[in-house]
Every structure is written in structure tokens, then in C-alpha cells.
Amino acid sequence: MIQNYFNYKVKITDKPFTTDSGNKFDNTAAISFLDENKKEIAYMELGYLDKEEVYQMIDNEKNLTLDHSYIENFSLVEYRETRNIEKKTYVKIHNFSAYNTFFDARVITDFSYAEFDDEYENFENAHFLNGAVSFQSSKFNQGGLNFAYTYFNDGNVDFSGVNFGDGEVNFKNSWFGKGHKNFQDAQFGNGNVLFVNTEFNDGDVTFVNSVFNSNRVSFKVARFGEGKVGFHFARFHCKELIFERTEFGNGKVDFRTTEFADAKVSFNRAVFGDGEKLFEAAQHKGGKITFRKSIWGDGNIYFEQVELDNTSLYLDNADFGKGNLSFSKSRIYELSLKSCHLDYYVDLRLSKCHFIDLSDTVARDIIDIKPYDFPLDIGTINFAGMRLIGRIYIDWGINKVKELIYSQKNTDNRVLAEQFRILKENFSTTGKYADEDKAYVEFKRNELKADLIDAKNDKFFGRIWRYPSYAFQWLVFDKVGLYATNPLRVLTSMLFGYIFFSLLYLILPFFIDTKIVSSLGDPDKLGKIAVSFYHSAITFLTIGYGDYYPSGAFRWLSGLEGFVGLFLMSYFTVAFVRKILR
């Protein structure tokens, strides 16, 4: 492929030209390619073929073998006009081949409404030196089309409405100049569609409403320049769709309402520019769509209302630049943002999602999960290893946070504790102190269980000590007062403790020699129940009037009750003041 030239000049001579395959031409076209200083940088000779000769070959239904030739101003529009054929009547072309053929035109090289009847059409290494190119509404009936290494200098290329048939369509390493590349409403058949390493350059590229029925569609390492890239309403009914390491320019990238069917879709390491990236209402029946290590530029990214009910969407290690990221009202089976840097607003208010993976992310702005005007149905969220510098908008009750965390499979208590700690700090930052307390309780519970499990690696006596320590913390710190987050719970525990000791004072004298003695001779004539509850009250509250005192084993029991009462009153004070101060 000859490219990067500034200008060219063509000289037609009457010297005969014979190709390596034996095809003979009466004249020779000598083409010189020049740089900006008019210095020749490349030179070649081709057989010269007048367009009228080509038209006559079409008239006579001859094979159209144009390999290694130079043709000026070829146009099927002109052909129809000179033959008085209706404008949109299809022109049949037989056994077409234009390998290393150079097309030159002042305005346009036109193959519109051509009907190719053989199995393979070859434009490999063809050069469209000047003017636009049109294959509008052409038919490649039996399929098989090779545009590999083809050079479209003008860049205004029209393949709209083309039926490519069932063979392979190959644009590998082809080069388009600046202009509109239009594949709107194109129909690709069962053969592979290959735009591998294709250079689209600046200008809009349109695949709107195109249909791909191929086994494999690949835009791997393709490069788009400045301009809109549109796949709006495209239908990829293929087995494999590849955009790996594809470079999109700074224009809008539009995959709205695209049907991916059940294709295996890969955008891994794709590079997007600074324009908007739209995947709104895209559909996929099931499988995987991957954007691993993709780079998204500075424009906003929209995955809103996508229909991926049975599809896993992986954006692991993606770089989202400075744009906002939205999954609002989407339905996705599994969404992975693992190890991403989320530096700007992320809308995770999905209508339905089985699992969201936010592990190892760095979140510097807002992650919005709190429902607003529609309900959310999210099964599990993984916050493990998140570095939360910004805020998560989430509600403990509405979002069912406890279920979101505990529904994680095969996650140990240490990791669960870390996730609740992250949420606890987030709730504190956002002023949701009631939710902070709930997250803190779950954090401490899982931390306590993790410490108990870790004790299995301790020595024998270390393991023995862990169990009573765990039981004490479980009872006193957790059950009695929910780690000082619930003063009413502590008050209730105080009441039960008081009743428990009162009943002991009432029941134990029936079994052992112990009693409560009145130092004043019992002037009020209190019964056994009243004495038991009264003595328990003044002991529990550490009042100590001295009108009743314990005897026997009750001395030790009363000392224990005094300690419990003092501890619980202090516990209540801490929990109460903590609530009031916040």
C-alpha cells in the first residue's frame, strides 16, 4: 500500500503492459508519488484501462479482471445513463477482481447498485487515489470480499445498504482518509467480518442499523480518528465480537440499543477518547462482555437501562478518566468494577443485579446506590479492599446492606469485618449515625469471630483462653449493649440483671444456709419477696442504706451484683452520652 504522499501525477503512454499473470494492456499508466517538495517518493507502472472498455466488458458479460490496472472516473451511474438504464437498476458484474488496481476520479468512483455474481471479489491492495467511493446498496450474492490493504485516500466511502453475502468480509490493514465512512443498514452474512488494524482516520464512522450474522466480527487494533463512531441499533448476531485494543477518537461513541445477542464480546484494553460513550439500552442474551484494562478518556459513560439479565459485565482495572459513570435502571446479572479508580460520580442504582464487585477499588467521589424514584433489586455487593476517599450514598434499611454483605459466598469473617468497617466510616462521614451503629456492630461481631478462628493457630493454652474470652465479649459487649450503640438495650439488660439477682436472693435460701438480715429488726414487716427485691435494688444501684445486709453466701453474691450494677450503669452512661452527643 502506497500512502503518506502529498500529491501524484499520472502519465499514459502507448507502451504495452503485461502483468505477471499474463494479462495484457495496450497502454501503460506511469504513476509518480510526490512529497510536499514535489520530490518523487514512489513510482509504479500499471496497465491503463479506459472506463469505456470496462463498460463494454460489462455489456458483453465478460469476466471483469482489472488486476494491476489504472482506471479513471469509473462510475456505474454514468454507465446506466449512457445505456438508458433506470438509476437504481442493478448492474451484474461477473468474476470481478481488482487486485492492486488504482482507481482515480475527479468526483467519485461509483459501484452503487452493482450485483457481483461470483464467490469472491478481490480489491486487495487496491488504491482509490482521488474522489469519494460508493458501493451503496450493492450485492455480493455469494459472499467473499477482500479489501485488505486497500487505500481510500478521500475517506468519503459509502457502503450503506450493502448486502455482503455469506463469505468473509476482509478490511484488514485497510486505510481510510478523512471523511464519512458509511456502513449504515449494511447486511453481513455468515462469514467472518474483519476490520483488524484498520485505520479509519478522522470523520464519522457509521454502522447504524447494520446486521452482523457472522461467526466472528473483529475490530481488533482498529483506530478511529476524530468524529462520531456509531453502532446505534446495530445487531451483532455473531458468536464472537472483538474490539480489543481498538482506539476510538474523541468523538461520541454510540452503542445505544445495540443487540449483542449471545456473542462473546471483548473490549479489553480498548482506548476511548474524550467524547460521550453511550451503551444505553444495549442488549445481550447471556454470557460475558469484558472491558478489562480499558481506558475511557474524559467524557461521560452511560450504561443506563442496559438489558443484560443473564450477562456478566466486567470492567476490571478500567481507567474511567474524568467522566461520570452511570448504570441507572440497568439490569445486569453480574457487574465487576474490581480494581478500578472511580474518581468521579458513579451511579450504581441498577434495577436488578445479582452481584456487584467493588473490591480493591479506589473511590474518590460519590458512589450512588440509594434508591430515588424506582426500586433496586441488588443481591450482593463486595466492598472488600475498597479505598474510600469519597462517599457511598447507601441506606442500611432500604438497600438491605446486611444482606448485601452476608450473601457473599466463601468470604471469611475478617474480610466481612473490613467491609462493615468501611461502611461504618462512610455512614459517619455522611451523618447517618444510626446506620453507622449498625455497621459498627456487624464489624465487631465479625472481627470477634475472626479472632476466634485465628486462635486455631495458637498454642494449646492460647486456644483454651480464647473461648471464655470470646464468650465474655459475646455476652457483655454484644448481647448486653450492642457495643455501646443501644442505651435502651443496656437499660433492658440492667432490668433483667436486677430481676435475676432478686430471684437468686429469693430461691437460694431454700437450698443453702444463707439469708438477708435486717439490721433494724424489720420494722416494716416485709415479706421474703419484698426483702429479696429491695436488697437487690439497693445493692445493684450501689445505694447501701444498711437497713438490710447479706449473710453467708449472699455476701459474695451481693458483691458480684454491686459490681455488675456499677458496670452496667457505666455502660448505660457511655451508650446514652454517645447517642446524645451525635
Q: What tens digit of pLDDT does each residue of 147-171 get?
A: 999 999 999 999 999 999 988 999 9
Q: Count the Cβ atoms, other than its own, within 10 Å of residue 331.
A: 18
Q: Look at residues 444, 479, 514 and tell me which one is the last residue of a structural domain.
A: 479
Average pLDDT, stretch 331-345? 96
For residue 215 the three cell numbers come to 461467526
Partner residues linked to 312 by β-bridges: 288, 334
d(CA 365, CA 383): 15
Question: Highest mean pLDDT: which of 199-213, 454-468, 503-517?
Answer: 199-213
In a domain, 275, yes or no: no
Considering the domain architecture, whether residues 456 and 508 belong to the same structural domain is answered as no
φ/ψ (deg, to 5) at 506 = -80, -40
Considering the domain architecture, whether residues 455 and 520 belong to the same structural domain is answered as no
Q: What is the pLDDT of residue 131?
A: 94
Considering the domain architecture, whether residues 448 and 495 belong to the same structural domain is answered as no
Output the CA angle 35-36-37, nearest 5 degrees. Answer: 90
Considering the domain architecture, whether residues 506 and 425 belong to the same structural domain is answered as no
Identify the band that residue 142 occupies on the pLDDT scale cut at 50, 70 and 90. Answer: confident
Q: What is the pLDDT of residue 546?
A: 82
Decide if pLDDT at 261 tops 70.
yes
Q: What is the pLDDT of residue 460?
A: 63
Decide if pLDDT at 367 tops 90.
yes
Decide if pLDDT at 309 tops 80.
yes
d(CA 539, CA 565): 8
Cβ atoms of 71 and 46 closer than 8 Å: no
Considering the domain architecture, whether residues 558 and 497 belong to the same structural domain is answered as yes
Residue 520 belongs to domain with CATH number = 1.10.287.70
Of 3-7, 40-44, 290-294, 530-534, the one with minimum mean pLDDT is 3-7
Average pLDDT, stretch 490-518? 91
CA distances 391 to 363, 424, 425, 426, 428, Å, are 8, 11, 10, 6, 10
Q: What is the pLDDT of residue 145?
A: 93
Q: What is the pLDDT of residue 559?
A: 92
Considering the domain architecture, whether residues 496 and 520 belong to the same structural domain is answered as yes
Tens digit of pLDDT for each residue in 64-103? 999 999 999 999 999 999 999 999 999 999 999 999 999 9
Q: What is the pLDDT of residue 458?
A: 65
Decide if pLDDT at 462 tops 70.
no
Considering the domain architecture, whether residues 563 and 510 belong to the same structural domain is answered as yes
Taking alpha carbons only, the member of 300, 5, 37 closest to residue 127 is: 5
Q: Look at residues 451, 479, 507 and tell me which one is the last residue of a structural domain.
A: 479
Partner residues linked to 287 by β-bridges: 311
Decide if pLDDT at 19 tops 90.
no
User: How buried is 462 (Cβ within 10 angstroms: 0-12 exposed, 13-18 middle, 19+ buried)?
Assistant: exposed
Of 89-93, 354-358, 511-515, the one with minimum mean pLDDT is 511-515
Query: Which residues 6+ apart lie within 8 Å of 149 measured at CB?
Result: 1, 124, 125, 172, 173, 174
Q: Look at residues 479, 509, 530 and tell me which one is the last residue of a structural domain.
A: 479
In a domain, 328, yes or no: no
Cβ atoms of 14 and 47 closer than 8 Å: no
Mean pLDDT taken over the chain: 92
Number of domains in the chain: 2
The total number of residues written for the chain in this structure = 582
Boundaries of domain holding 542? 487-581
In a domain, 290, yes or no: no
In a domain, 507, yes or no: yes
Decide if pLDDT at 248 tops 90.
yes
Q: What percent of the chain has pLDDT over 70?
A: 98
Q: What is the pLDDT of residue 349?
A: 97
Q: What is the pLDDT of residue 226?
A: 94
Amino acid identity of residue 429, one-letter, is: T
Average pLDDT, stretch 540-560? 88
For residue 138 the three cell numbers come to 450493492
Average pLDDT, stretch 190-216? 95
In a domain, 545, yes or no: yes
In a domain, 261, yes or no: no
Considering the domain architecture, whether residues 574 and 498 belong to the same structural domain is answered as yes
Could you tell me the pTM of the whole model?
0.87
Considering the domain architecture, whether residues 503 and 570 belong to the same structural domain is answered as yes
Q: What's the distance, Cα to Cα, between the start and end of the chain in Å?
A: 73
Cβ atoms of 514 and 543 closer than 8 Å: no
d(CA 401, CA 79): 71
Amino acid identity of residue 421, one-letter, is: R
